[in-house]
Amino acid sequence: MPGKNLSREEAQQRAGILAVDGYEVRLDVTSAPDPAAAAFRSTTTVTFRCSRPGASTFLDLLAPAVRSVTLNGRALDAATAYDGARVHVDGLAAENVLTVEADCAYSRTGEGLHRFVDPADGETYLYTHYEPADARRVFATFEQPDLKAPFTFTVTAPAAWDVWSNAVHGNVTTEDGARTWEFAPTRPISTYLTAVVAGPYHVERDHYSREFADGTVLDIPLSAMCRKSLAPHFDADEILGVTKLGLDFFHERFDYPYPFGKYDQAFVPEYNIGAMENPGCVTFKEDFVFRSKVTDAAYENRANVILHEMAHMWFGDLVTPRWWDDLWLKESFADFMGSYALIGANTRYSSAWVTFANQRKAWAYRQDQLPTTHPITADIRDLEDAKLNFDGITYAKGAAVLKQLVAYAGSDAFFEGSRRYFQRHAFGNTELADLLGVLEETSGRDLKSWAAAWLQTAGVNALTPQVTTDAEGRITELAVLQDGEVFRPHRIAIGLYDRDADGALVRAERLEVDVTGARTVVPEAAGRTRPALVLLNDEDLTYCKVRFDEESLEALRTGLGDIGDDLARALAWSAVWNLTRDALMPARDYVALVLRFAGQEGNIGVLQSLHAQAKTAVDLYADPAWRGEGARLLADGALRELRAAVPGSDHQLAWARFLAQTAGGAEHLGLVRGLLTGSARIDGLDVDQELRWALWLALAAAGQASDEELAAELAADNTAGGKRQYTVCLAARPTPEAKAAAWSAVVDSDELPNALVEANIAGFALPSHRDLTALYAAPYFKLLERIWSERTIEIAMRFVGGFFPIAQTDEPTLAEADAWLDGHPQAAPALRRLVLERRDDLARALRAQACDRS
Ligand SMILES: [Zn+2]
């Protein structure tokens, strides 16, 4: 089996001589409901020109069997033309027609054409997911983003099914219990953006129309679908409502009519990522169909993702990065637009920038401090590099930098630049210079130094205030210190906060300054009374880590929760978390802050971050000698706040879930069991199905859920979600046998679907079970290369990240990781990157523990 990788050079060579006029792809998935059928028939006819007749090239295809290859009417020997990953053809003419007939495999891993059988009713569902390069698992293709072409799909499927693709369907004919759907040709799009969704999906329809200044009317049919068994939980009205607001917003800002005809949004099972922007046929993870109560943060997140994908219809689908180096050209924009449009499109999610500051940027800060960080414009040598680059830099840091660019160049220039970009590059491919070009035109600024500082260098700066005062407590000098490997220009607001009459910390002054070198003096501050709190980067204009002077830190210790402004408070929370991660604040101090102030945190998304971070602080960053006490404190705090929360509120649910995650002692576990059996009640708390599973997990992890009880819960919730949660619970039992079974289920067989691989890892790897899982560290390192070569990259990534012995926070484990890295310089770079990152997480935990111990 030759390599499945494709290098940037190969893609450049191919694009240098080829132009693709169109694909006709015929798929026959009538066998899908038969679990014994492993493959489906795929026939691709691609029409393309070659500027160097006589040259050779190849198509990408990952298929169990190729039946025939025909080039310009000449049958080639499939056995020699196909090497397991590529179909090689030579003797190209100036104009070519190539047909490849193959048997392609139904996927269990969410890559290619995924097949899922619903345990609730036995129905089979299919959908495709390709980015960056899995279209080749479904049809023969030139798998690179800059060989765009119109695609014409024809799909034969069981007669009772519906089928969707990027374009609208035309003729549907029925024969022998199967229906054949003929779809219209798409506009020219990249291979990774094509899509097919097929099955007995539940569908809700609507439409959007818009009249333009010239009197033309654009009508966009809308639909939203999910599995039939989820239909009772499907709030399509809310989804389609956000969709229409988004279509209004993007048409106003982009001034380019939506180019892909109709807009379907499919919520599909066992989806590997949040969503994918297939033109006209967006796919989402079905966790966005909420079958139990979730907090408003989940609704906000879903709306954000809907708008993110919609922004891609222009940034990404209409205009596409030439190669994965410029992935940020679409992902940073879409990530920025997700938050920007939540506000701009007048959705009900008004705290989008608080969420962005608190959660998206935390992702970026983490990623940017790993040894593997990279500039926003990355160097992507091949497809494995590309796969790993869907990361916190490409998305969240890029979005933060664009937010800053909007502040720097102005939103008018930014959107006028976007409009020119779409007009100039519609249905084409672009690089960094194409974007900078239009933005320089519209802003009148030279953006090269801005791009060099922000897009072409890696790393995050920390900004620290330095305050000196006179005997009367007046500021004699306020300076901002910048550290980091590269000094960048930061436009920041500085908030000076004092207590008001009610005790709230409120902003008394706002100063706006340009921070440039290592030390920037803020002259306007001199002569003012020293405030209680100096908050740098107030309003979150720039991308940096915020530090405090000693007095400000003391003000936070006694009053962080008293900061009245949601965004300022979220920034303060984010800053103290960064201090903890950087071993500058003991983990137990961070935990004390959370226990003291989380109960008064009004923003539900921020509260849920605090829960996750406080748990990480105890599990990984605290001195092991204090861990037990820390865990007890968290559980006590959760119980106290659960009882105090407003009945029926989101906050009450979040605290109940936090109790389930932290429960350890008899009192907590007793309440957990009581909530499950009904012998205990908390006013207003609905113990619905998802909460029940969270509570069962607490009991299972403590060894207090019997096999019969877990099986009975599954019998009562025989659904996809139930099966996943049940698997987590089994793997979370604190016995050597349970851990061995979970490990073996993932390692010894590749039969498990992606969702159950993830469930097994989640249950196996509970940090509190570190004594039970310690013996798996050695086999983990031994297996890395084998798993990387044998499994698909999606599954291999989960193995590498999920089974890394992060819970063994000790020097010997760090030494083991180092020994593997030293001993495997030739391992796949993408594998080394993942191990290096986890190794860095471990080293960070050890530093934080040392800080907590001191
Ligand atoms: Zn995206």
136-151 tens-digit pLDDT:
999 999 999 999 999 9
Taking the centre of ligand 1 as the mean of its atom positions, its distance from the CA of residue 327, in whole angstroms, is 9
Confidence class of residue 101 from pLDDT cuts 50, 70 and 90? very high
Taking the centre of ligand 1 as the mean of its atom positions, its distance from the CA of residue 38, in whole angstroms, is 31
Confidence class of residue 1 from pLDDT cuts 50, 70 and 90? very low
Tokens of 69: 């290859």
Tokens of 103: 């048997």
- pLDDT of res. 543: 96
Coil vs helix vs strand at 673: helix
Taking the centre of ligand 1 as the mean of its atom positions, its distance from the CA of residue 356, in whole angstroms, is 15
- Residue 593 confidence (pLDDT) above 80: yes
The CA distance from 353 to 206, in Å, is 30
Which residues in 490-615 belong to E strands, given as ranges?
490-499, 505-515, 519-521, 533-538, 545-546
Beta carbons of 658 and 643 less than 8 angstroms apart? no
Q: Name residue 18's beta-bridge partners.
A: 50
Confidence class of residue 712 from pLDDT cuts 50, 70 and 90? very high
Q: Could you give the percent of the chain with pLDDT greater than 90?
A: 97
Tokens of 698: 């607490």
Residue 398: CA atoms inside 13 Å, Cβ hemisphere, count? 28
The CA distance from 268 to 285, in Å, is 6
Beta carbons of 284 and 268 less than 8 angstroms apart? yes
Taking the centre of ligand 1 as the mean of its atom positions, its distance from the CA of residue 405, in whole angstroms, is 19
Tokens of 16: 């240098």
Coil vs helix vs strand at 498: strand
Taking the centre of ligand 1 as the mean of its atom positions, its distance from the CA of residue 258, in whole angstroms, is 17
Taking the centre of ligand 1 as the mean of its atom positions, its distance from the CA of residue 18, in whole angstroms, is 28
Taking the centre of ligand 1 as the mean of its atom positions, its distance from the CA of residue 331, in whole angstroms, is 5
Q: Is the pTM of this model over 0.95?
A: yes
Inter-helix orientation angle 829-853/566-581, to 10°: 90
Taking the centre of ligand 1 as the mean of its atom positions, its distance from the CA of residue 14, in whole angstroms, is 26
- pLDDT of res. 406: 87
The CA distance from 836 to 378, in Å, is 18
Beta carbons of 800 and 788 less than 8 angstroms apart? yes
Beta carbons of 614 and 632 less than 8 angstroms apart? no
Coil vs helix vs strand at 105: strand
Beta carbons of 99 and 70 less than 8 angstroms apart? yes
The CA distance from 831 to 846, in Å, is 23
The model's pLDDT over 608-646, given as tens digits with 9 standing for 90+, comes to 999 999 999 999 999 999 999 999 999 999 999 999 999
Beta carbons of 591 and 627 less than 8 angstroms apart? no
Question: 163-199: b or e for each residue (b if 16 or more CB lie within 10 Å)?
Answer: bbbbbebeeeeeeeebbbbebeebbbbbbbbbbbbbb
Coil vs helix vs strand at 398: helix
Spatial CB neighbours of 851, under 8 Å, sequence gap ≥ 6 = 583, 584, 585, 586, 587
Q: Name residue 696's beta-bridge partners.
A: none
The CA distance from 542 to 568, in Å, is 14
Average pLDDT score over residue span 169-189: 97
Q: Which of 605, 495, 608 is nearest to 555 (CA)?
A: 495
How many residues does this entry show for the chain?
854
Taking the centre of ligand 1 as the mean of its atom positions, its distance from the CA of residue 406, in whole angstroms, is 19
Average pLDDT score over residue span 474-481: 98
3-state helix/strand/coil string of 808-845: CCCHHHHHHHHHHHHHCCCCCHHHHHHHHHHHHHHHHH
The model's pLDDT over 5-24, given as tens digits with 9 standing for 90+, comes to 999 999 999 999 999 999 99
Taking the centre of ligand 1 as the mean of its atom positions, its distance from the CA of residue 768, in whole angstroms, is 35
- Residue 3 confidence (pLDDT) above 80: no
Taking the centre of ligand 1 as the mean of its atom positions, its distance from the CA of residue 319, in whole angstroms, is 13
Taking the centre of ligand 1 as the mean of its atom positions, its distance from the CA of residue 694, in whole angstroms, is 30
The model's pLDDT over 518-562, given as tens digits with 9 standing for 90+, comes to 999 999 999 999 999 999 999 999 999 999 999 999 999 999 999
Taking the centre of ligand 1 as the mean of its atom positions, its distance from the CA of residue 458, in whole angstroms, is 21
Spatial CB neighbours of 792, under 8 Å, sequence gap ≥ 6 = 109, 111
Average pLDDT score over residue span 793-800: 96
- Residue 692 confidence (pLDDT) above 60: yes
- Residue 348 confidence (pLDDT) above 70: yes
Average pLDDT score over residue span 465-490: 96
Question: Residue 167 gets which letter from DSSP?
Answer: S
Instruction: Tell me the backbone φ, ψ of residue 448, rounded to 5 degrees.
Output: -70, -40
Average pLDDT score over residue span 675-694: 98
Beta carbons of 595 and 637 less than 8 angstroms apart? yes
Q: Which of 131, 309, 384, 713 is catalytic?
A: 309
The model's pLDDT over 512-527, given as tens digits with 9 standing for 90+, comes to 999 999 999 999 999 9
- pLDDT of res. 374: 95
Helix, strand and coil percent figures for the chain, each rounded to 5:
45, 20, 30
The CA distance from 497 to 287, in Å, is 41
Q: What type of residue is 714?
A: L
- pLDDT of res. 2: 46
Tokens of 763: 């249950």
Taking the centre of ligand 1 as the mean of its atom positions, its distance from the CA of residue 192, in whole angstroms, is 13
Residue 797: CA atoms inside 13 Å, Cβ hemisphere, count? 16
Q: Name residue 490's beta-bridge partners.
A: 515
The CA distance from 700 to 766, in Å, is 11
The model's pLDDT over 252-287, given as tens digits with 9 standing for 90+, comes to 999 999 999 999 999 999 999 999 999 999 999 999
- 473's torsion region: left (phi>0), alpha (psi -120 to 50) or beta? left
Beta carbons of 429 and 145 less than 8 angstroms apart? yes
Question: Residue 356 gets which letter from DSSP?
Answer: I
**Chain mean pLDDT for the chain:** 97
Whether 300 is catalytic? no
* Parallel/antiparallel/unpaired status of strands 533-538 and 490-499: antiparallel
- Residue 355 confidence (pLDDT) above 90: yes
- Residue 720 confidence (pLDDT) above 70: yes
The CA distance from 419 to 550, in Å, is 47
Spatial CB neighbours of 9, under 8 Å, sequence gap ≥ 6 = none
